[in-house]
Homo-oligomer: A and B are copies of this chain.
């Protein structure tokens, strides 16, 4: 297996784990919606999540005024796939951009595919 295939295998497996709620160790709450994920994966991309203390923070609540449910869903899917899917409407794009000011995924708006 090449190194490229190795890292793609890792991303694919972590995506499967998240979809299956396997070894998820953080719940992100926005409004009435709970998002399960892996802290180390979020911290690998997000300034906000990498700044959380190592211990605790198993539940993190975000202000829906800054991070909508739809925008967080889009950001998490980006983190776990490398693909950004927005419908390109101003509302949707602005929501993701605004959410990312809080979440701080540095790689997202720098030569992302799909933007």
Q: Which of A40-48, A61-69, A94-102 contacts B (4 or more CB under 8 A)?
A: A40-48
Q: B-facing mask of A1-42, CB < 8 A → 1, else 0?
A: 111111111110110010000110100000000000011110
Supposing A10-B7, A11-B10 touch, asked if A1 and B111 sit within 8 A by C-beta, the answer is: yes
Q: Are B107 and A1 in contact (CB under 8 A)?
A: yes
Q: Within 8 Å of chain B (Cβ to Cβ): is A110?
A: yes
- Give Cα distance in the complex from A82 to B5, angstroms: 9
Per the CB 8 Å criterion, the residue count for chain A at the interface is: 33
Q: Which of B13, B45, B81 contacts A9 (CB 8 A)?
A: B45
Q: Which of B1, B22, B40, B81 contacts A82 (CB 8 A)?
A: B1
Interface positions of A (Cβ within 8 A of B): 1-11, 13-14, 17, 22-23, 25, 38-41, 43-45, 54, 81-83, 107, 110-113
Q: Are A17 and B3 in contact (CB under 8 A)?
A: no
